[in-house]
Structure 1
Amino acid sequence: LTFSNEQGNLPTCGTDKYCIWQFNFREFDLDSDIFAVDSIELLKQSGIDLAKNTQDGIDSKRFAELLMSSGIVLNENVHWVTFHSGYDFGYLLKLLTCQNLP
């Protein structure tokens, strides 16, 4: 996730560098979750260790609880800007509803 203000300025979190957040969930399963093959290949080439995430990744249910209570979701003043994010939003919807998608 990357946040910005209305002018598009990114946060620096008290440093001279921009802040973004990447979340790696332990429950993502290549055998049962739907995904874009090219996206998984890109993640692997970028150094994401999916097997390690299974052990050390974030608990998705806890993440969903915190995200829902943060005020980011269901907020008319928050706008989501994405790029090729169909699967990402599908997975996010699955997390937030605690339901498997059809």
Structure 2
Amino acid sequence: MVRPLAKAESLFAEAGVRWIVSWLLQFSTFNWFLGGLALIASIWFGQDARLVTCLLVGSSYLYGAFINCKASRGRHPGWMLYTVALGLIAFGVNGSGG
């Protein structure tokens, strides 16, 4: 995803745009890390709080999966990993005995 952006030199003429794009490209990394920590911490929450945590993290992962698939035209495994993570979240919230 970086190579096509690097070819658009006119887009990166301003330092502010380069700064924003560099942070936006790291969204997935922060999303995985913080979402994973929230899901691990939800083990000690009550059922309602666990459901809300799973819905918030799951919606963020769903957005990441959709955008990743759309941006890479399905050629990057990131969207598949997000989809697997969504399945595990759904299993964890439904299949956990409490």
Normalized per residue, the structure richer in helix is 2
Give the TM-score, by structure 1 length.
Answer: 0.35
**Structure of higher CA gyration radius:** 2
